[in-house]
Structure formats: C-alpha cells, structure tokens
Structure 1
Amino acid sequence: MSTAPASEPTAGPTWTVGDVTVHRIDEIPLPPATGRWLLPDATPDVVARQDWLRPSFADDGGVLRIDSHSFAFTLDGLRILVDTGIGNGKQRANPAWHDLDTDYLQRLTAAGFPPDTVDLVVLTHLHADHVGWNTRETNGEWVPTFPNARYVTSRTEREFWAGYDLEEARRQMFQDSVIPVEEAGLLDLMDVPAAGVDIVPGLRLLSTPGHTPGHVALQLTSRGRTALITGDCIHHPVQLAHPAIGACVDIDPERSEASRRTLLASLADTDTLLLGTHFAPPTAGRVVSRADAYRLTPVPADA
C-alpha cells in the first residue's frame, strides 16, 4: 500500500506547554470504517447527538475521524517521541496498517527530530499501531529506528504479553517491532504504581490500565503548565461525552472505562491540554464538564 506524498513533507502543527513545544508527527488518517470497528457503540445516532464533534471529529453522517500520529518534544535537552505509529512495510492483518509507505520519518526530521537524535521513546502500550516505527528494515532485517534512544514502557505491559498466547498477527508484530529493540538492549521496563512515576523531571507515566493491562498515559509539565497525552485510554472525543464507550480490543473493558472516567475527572475544568493520540485535527483541547459527562474544547495549534 503506497501512501507516499507528492510534495516535500513539512513540520506539522505544534502546541506550547510552558517552555516546551509539542509537535504532532502525522503518519496517516485511518479509513472511515475504523471508527465503526473500533468503537462499535459509537453509532451514528450517538455521534450525531454531540454536535460539537462536527466537523472536526466526525462527519455529518456520524462517521468518526481517527488518525495515526506521534508527539515529539524536547524537555531539558532530552529529545522525546511518544508512540511510534504503524510503521512502513509491516505485514499486518488489518488492511489499513498493512505494508504502508508513508513519509513519517521525513516529517519527524522536518520537525527537527532526525531518528538518530531521539533520546527517549515512550510507548503507552504494545499494540501494532503504537510500536511500528520502533524499527525499520535495513538489509532485510528489522533494526531500531532510534538507535541512540531509551525505549520506555510499563513492565506490567511487557510481562503480560510475554505470558500471553499470541495469535500469529500479534506474534509477527512483536518479532518485527518489539523484540529487535529488546535484543539491542534498548527497551527499559518501568514499574508504574497507581500514583504514577516520573521518567525524568516534568515527564510522568500515569497508570491507565484496561485497554491493555499496563497501559499508561503521559503527563508533561513545564513552568506550571501541563499536557496529557492519552495513548488509547481515550481513542476519540466521543468518549468524553460517553465514557462508557469502549474499544472492541480492550483487554478489560470495565477497567478501561474506570481508567477513562478517573482520567477525565482529573482533567475536567482545568488548564491541562489534552493531546489525543488518535484525535483527528485539531487534536488538542481542554476537557470541560457538560451535564453528567464532558466535552472537548479545541485548542488550535500554534503553527
């Protein structure tokens, strides 16, 4: 599947959090069928009742818009990438993820983060659309894309999948996108207690289990300002209005909903910038209370 652009890639949109500039690194918009499959309870009728979702997050027919992208930023000299998308040339069961040919690395470089300059890669969880650019193919082998980086994920996450009876598609994903990083000695497993844990000052992993057992969200703080990168605790803004809507691939749906509700309650009516890992543009916003749930007030990018 070729998705190569016709023009030279440029740096994507940015948001300012204190002294930190957060870049969105675009990979690919996912096809309209993705939302119907991923969030089956987000029916067109349910979506249509949330007029604030249109036109950015859903179309007039109630079809959800979902993207694949990463976030990159520099914090106290550390060059950091959060989640690595689907990747190029990966053999995947999902047709939307299979054998992509995108300009993701060129976009990352245009934003000022050439692969060999990245110091830290944070993986919210180990699903195929979050670890794909962990590696790239070189001379017929999958090698770490970011050879000078420390790849961080939850110990609970890795240990769960290590003991899981993997189906062939997931086994393939681990073989091409996780195990090469481990074999290179670059994967760093962190214990993440319920209260969260700092990776470095200003960067904190928050325990948000359910979608996967070791799923984490990421909190960034600089000069009194805060941003929260969702991972897949929240796939789409419709889940702010309906926190009970879960993903069809949640390992523990009840725990996923509980994590989502706890996270949203902590963010509601604060200045924290919410950055959705799969949110279509405008991608970022603030969580505001609305009746017995929430909505997202978009925050436009700086550039």
Structure 2
Amino acid sequence: MSTAPVADPAAAPSWTVGDVTVHRVDEVLLPPATGPWLLPDATPDLVAAQDWLRPHFADDEGTLRLHSHSFAFELGGLRVLVDTGIGNGKERANPAWHNLDTGYLRRLTAAGFAPDSIDLVILTHLHADHVGWNTRNVNGTWVPTFPRARYLTSRDERKFWAGYDMEPAREQMFRDSVIPVEEAGLLDLVDVPAGGTDIAPGLRLLPTPGHTPGHVAVELTSHGRTALITGDCVHHPVQLADPAVGACVDIDPRQSEASRRTLLAALAGTDTLVLGTHFAPPTAGHIVRHEGGYRFSPVFAGPR
C-alpha cells in the first residue's frame, strides 16, 4: 500500500467515522438546469412543500442544487477513492460536462490523496459523471490517473454495458475513461450478492440496482460507527420526501425506486452517516422519518 502524503486539513470538507476521516473532494457545482432535466418529477410544488430542503439543497424558487464530487478516505491502511467525477478535457454530449477544466486533482492532492498514493478506486456504476477522472490526457493518450490503484466495480455493471447498444456519446466515454483502465489490467469485477459483499475489513458494497443494473452503494465501518455513500441510488434529498421521484436516466425506474425505498427504510432512525454523491454541501447527514416519508438532517463538515 502507498505512503500517505501530508494533508492540508482545510483542503477538503471532512467527517469522522470511528477513526476514519472521510473527505469530500469537490469537482463542480452542477448548473441549475440539471435538476429539472435529471429529476423531472421533482416539481416546484413538491420542492416548495419541503421546508427542510432550504437553504442548502434548494433555493427559494424551488431550484434543486446538485454537485459533483468524490469521497476519499483511508481505512485499515487502504487508501480509497469512491467515484471519480466528470474529468477534465472529456468530450461529452452534456454541455455541463463537456471539456471541463477544474482543480479536482489539485484538491485531491491537497487533501492528502495524491493520485499515485491511491490504492483502490471504487466505481458505484459506469456513468460519465462517475468515471471521468479514471483517466487523464498525457501527450494525447488517455492513461489511468491512479496508476498504483485497483479500480473496482460490480461484475453485473460491466457485463450489462458490454452487451448494450451504445450511442456515440457513451461509446466515447468508455473509450476515454473505462477501456484504458481495462487495457492497463487495473479493473477488477466483483460479484455483489443480494446481501452485499465485503471487499476489505470495514468496507462493503451493497447492491442498489435500478439506476444501472450493477449499481452499488458503499458502506464503511470503523469502531462501531458507519457511513454510507449513496452513489446514484439517491441523487438529491428531495427523493427522501418522495422516493418515487426517479432520474430520467434510470435504466429500470421501478427497480431504482425499490432499491431507494429499501435503502432509506434501512437507514431511517439510525446513526449511519449518509454521504450523497450528488448532494450539495453540507452533503452528509442522517435519514429521519418525516410525514410519511423521510427528510435529511445535515451533519456539517468540521475539522479533524
């Protein structure tokens, strides 16, 4: 395993889970048009009825706030990055993702996770905004950003896309962000049964299919404390108020809703720290039962 660089505690918001510090590594705030496109059933009336969404997760006009970021932590000596965002310089059909130029790698390094120090990259699923920093452009060639890491996703996820009739934009994403990792021999595929699977002590993948067939959430446990990284099983806290609200890009909307309901029911009323992969700051919190559904009770990041 790699040696940890010296971290700047102010570089990335962080939360403590047992003796693990989970850092949020910011990439970009997504534009206001993202909400109506991604979650079309999150109507202004639905958003307005949830006072608890304001001011952090929606504005006074009912516009949803969504964010792109990763989570990085060290657990048992294993240095882990969960999802890799959109990436820089990638050709994307979505104009909000096209040819970005962000300081993501600088922030990741400043948080103490230089690219060559990462041991494990967990990909909750293989969508463009979760695999972009898998690779970076070096002299015109896309090469793995984390050359000493194993990249990991579920076997069902990769199998599905291998047999999928991809449109050109998705083919491009696989060419620049997935296939180079495979060709480097760095991608590991894991079977994730219904009960989940341990991939390291204190680190577990939970199946949450629907958004994609092999989608997983990531659970980490340390000294009796637990955190869960949602991936895209839950895109935004408004889906707690009404779990039937799905994403326009869900492969199987019914399965996505079922996975979301199962996950939220298991988390409600517990002290599990939930970290939303697209939740705007403050990003982390607890699931609380509320008016026949749920709400999000934020836990603000703080110094270590």
Same fold judged by TM-score > 0.5? yes
1:287 has 2:291 as partner: no
1:105 has 2:96 as partner: no
3-state DSSP of counterpart to 1:262: helix
Give the aligned residue type for 1:198.
D
Tell me how far apart the structure 1 counterparts of residues 74 and 285 of structure 2 sit (CA, whole Å).
21
- Aligned-residue CA RMSD in angstroms? 1.1
3-state DSSP of counterpart to 1:199: strand
3-state DSSP of counterpart to 2:21: strand
Q: Following TM superposition, by how much is the alpha carbon of 1:230 offset from its aligned partner in structure 2, in angstroms?
A: 0.2
Q: Following TM superposition, by how much is the alpha carbon of 1:43 offset from its aligned partner in structure 2, in angstroms?
A: 1.1
Q: Following TM superposition, by how much is the alpha carbon of 1:292 offset from its aligned partner in structure 2, in angstroms?
A: 1.3
Partner of 1:60: 60
Partner of 1:82: 82
Identity score, percent: 78
Tell me how far apart the structure 2 counterparts of residues 11 and 150 of structure 1 sit (CA, whole Å).
25
Partner of 2:6: none
Partner of 2:254: 254
Tell me how far apart the structure 2 counterparts of residues 206 and 248 of structure 1 sit (CA, whole Å).
23
Give the aligned residue type for 2:271.
D
Tell me how far apart the structure 2 counterparts of residues 69 and 300 of structure 1 sit (CA, whole Å).
16
1:231 has 2:231 as partner: yes
Partner of 1:7: none
Tell me how far apart the structure 1 counterparts of residues 15 and 95 of structure 2 sit (CA, whole Å).
32
Tell me how far apart the structure 2 counterparts of residues 250 and 108 of structure 1 sit (CA, whole Å).
29
Moved more, 240-249 or 288-297: 288-297
Between the two proteins, the alignment pairs up a number of residues equal to 296
Partner of 1:157: 157
Tell me how far apart the structure 1 counterparts of residues 209 and 102 of structure 2 sit (CA, whole Å).
31
5+ long unaligned stretches in structure 1? 1-9
Structure 2 length as normaliser, TM-score?
Answer: 0.96
Tell me how far apart the structure 1 counterparts of residues 300 and 142 of structure 2 sit (CA, whole Å).
37
1:167 has 2:198 as partner: no
Partner of 2:187: 187
Structure 1 length as normaliser, TM-score?
Answer: 0.97
- 1:201-212 correspondence runs (5 A): 201-212=201-212
Give the aligned residue type for 1:77.
G
1:22 has 2:14 as partner: no
Partner of 1:196: 196
Q: Following TM superposition, by how much is the alpha carbon of 1:117 offset from its aligned partner in structure 2, in angstroms?
A: 0.4
Tell me how far apart the structure 1 counterparts of residues 145 and 44 of structure 2 sit (CA, whole Å).
39
Give the aligned residue type for 1:229.
I
Residues 19-75 of structure 1 deviation map (CA, whole Å, 9 limit, x = unaligned) = 100000000000000000000000111100000000100000000000000000000
- 1:35-46 correspondence runs (5 A): 35-46=35-46
3-state DSSP of counterpart to 2:136: strand
Give the aligned residue type for 1:274.
V
Tell me how far apart the structure 2 counterparts of residues 296 and 273 of structure 1 sit (CA, whole Å).
11
- 1:263-278 correspondence runs (5 A): 263-278=263-278
Residues 162-207 of structure 1 deviation map (CA, whole Å, 9 limit, x = unaligned) = 0000000000000000000000000000000010001101000000
Residues 92-141 of structure 1 deviation map (CA, whole Å, 9 limit, x = unaligned) = 00000000000000000000000000000000000000000000000100
Tell me how far apart the structure 1 counterparts of residues 48 and 35 of structure 2 sit (CA, whole Å).
14
Displaced runs of 4 or more, over 3 A: none
Partner of 1:218: 218
Tell me how far apart the structure 2 counterparts of residues 214 and 96 of structure 1 sit (CA, whole Å).
25
Q: Following TM superposition, by how much is the alpha carbon of 1:302 offset from its aligned partner in structure 2, in angstroms?
A: 1.5
3-state DSSP of counterpart to 2:231: coil
3-state DSSP of counterpart to 1:281: coil
Partner of 2:245: 245
